[in-house]
Amino acid sequence: MKPTLIYTLSRLGLLGLCLALGYLASLRGVILLVAAFLGSGLLSFVLLNKQRTAMGEKIGGALNAVSDKLEANTRKEDVD
């Protein structure tokens, strides 16, 4: 799950950066939170494409393994 951890920590880092920049720009309260979440979301869409792809491949591989195991168990039950 290393790609997932890297992506999550990168997203949190971008959120923290956007919160700090918003605070320095005199944003406060709900407006600061909304601006930080929107800004970090947009930045992560552009800057974290490689990490998001790696995470998706890792999760997709894990889901395929579970699906293959379920299918094998179903075939085993059908034989019995």
Among 45, 52, 23, smallest CA distance to 35 is for: 23
Measure the CA–CA gap between 76 and 79, rounded to whole angstroms.
5
Q: What is the pLDDT of residue 76?
A: 80
- For the entire predicted model, the pTM comes to 0.76
Residue 73 has pLDDT above 90, yes or no: no
Residue 60 has pLDDT above 80, yes or no: yes
Instruction: Give 39's DSSP letter.
Output: H
Name the 3-class secondary structure at 26. coil
Q: What is the pLDDT of residue 2?
A: 93
Note the pLDDT tens digit of each residue in 25-47: 999 999 999 999 999 999 999 99
Instruction: Give 27's DSSP letter.
Output: -
